[in-house]
Amino acid sequence: SAKAIIAKLGNKVVAAEYKLDGERLQIHKRKEGVTLFSRRLEVITHNYPDVLELVAKNVASGEAILEAEVVAINEDTGEYLPFQELMHRRRKYGVAEAMKQYPVALNFFDLLSADRKDYTNFPYGERRAKLESVVKETERTRPVPALRTADPEEIEKFMEDAIANGCEGLVVKDLDGVYRAGAREFSWVKLKREYRSELTDTIDLVIVGAFHGRGRRAGTYGTYLLAAYDDKKANFPSVSKIGTGFTDEDLQKFPRLLKKYESRVKPPSVESNLVPDVWFRPHLVIETIASEITLSPIHPAGMGRIRKESGLALRFPKFTGKIRDDKKPEDATTVDEIVEMYNLQLKKVERVAQ
């Protein structure tokens, strides 16, 4: 638990950072070029030619050794993708094609040296400060999101935020710890969920908002805001954003289908902490699948039902391609059903553990 980890690290302020579902890289930037090493210090530069360009453009130091997590992304939506998608990049042939199909982003989490100065004996807090000063934050590069606190509840909420953003959990770090090659020992401690399971049921949700696209989706909607139906409150609390599973035809068709339901302000029946670029009155129901249902500090569906100040959200949601024309918005999956599905996940994991 977060409380146990803080106690283990001395009951003091720690750094809690996103633990991403990607591949760990050690990056050596020199005047003659950039070399990438795997966790086992294998040279894997040829797998990530786009990473070389990202480092050259966005790491300010002329010479540096840094560590980062490389993660597959949906270039059109900015969403992080599961680790299995990234593994398509680990190939000997067809690298250029894989680079186009599976673009990546870099989340930097440590700095060993910069401009020929060794930082390995500096405390982590100072290494992180230097890291932030040399890594330019862009859509594809950034220091990994971090929180400094001694409050276990703040860490638990930050973990929910991390999971909602496609991460595995958190890594909690001692700000006084020095770098130890290949060993995190007690100064870095992973904090993960107590369960993880596959969700097999489809979920019918209502589109209540949209966000403008970028990349290939510039000029149309890139992601949609989805809501379940709360039959007790007679409203539609948000439960997910979704941008995966849409064909080019879908991307052209959906704005036309939704046009008549556009609203300049948030519809009174919609509950959401996110503010999309365009609101829609609840009408269009679509079928989705997801890897699982997680706790969320962002989405209000099921708020407080499982944990205080936490709602529920879909992890890695995907449109199945099916529009539920046969369903009114009030026929969408209900909040009670989503809570029940979440609890069933826990029971499945308990059975597997036994």
**266 HSE (CA, 13 A, CB side):** 15
Q: What is the 3-state secondary structure (H, E, C) of the chain?
A: CHHHHHHHCCCCCEEEEEECCCEEEEEEEECCEEEEECCCCCECHHHCHHHHHHHHHHECCCCEEEEEEEEEECCCCCCECCHHHHHHHCCCCCHHHHHHHCCEEEEEEEEEEECCEECCCCCHHHHHHHHHHHECCCCCEEECCEEEECCHHHHHHHHHHHHHCCCCEEEEECCCCCCCCCCCCCCEEEEECCCCCCCCCCEEEEEEEEEECCHHHCCCEEEEEEECEECCCCEEEEEEEECCCCCHHHHHHHHHHHHHHEECCCCCCEECCCCCCEEECCCCEEEEECCEEEEECCCCCCCCCCECCEEEEEECCEEEEEECCCCCHHHCCEHHHHHHHHHHHHHHHHHHHC
Kindly state the tokens that stand for 292: 């699982």
Considering the candidates 3, 8, 19, 192, report the single residue annotated as catalytic: 19
Q: Whole-angstrom Cα distance, residue 264 to residue 28?
A: 50
Centroid of chain to Cα 135: 20
Q: Is 29 a catalytic residue?
A: no
Q: Whole-angstrom Cα distance, residue 73 to residue 51?
A: 13
Q: Whole-angstrom Cα distance, residue 13 to residue 259?
A: 49
Catalytic residues: 19
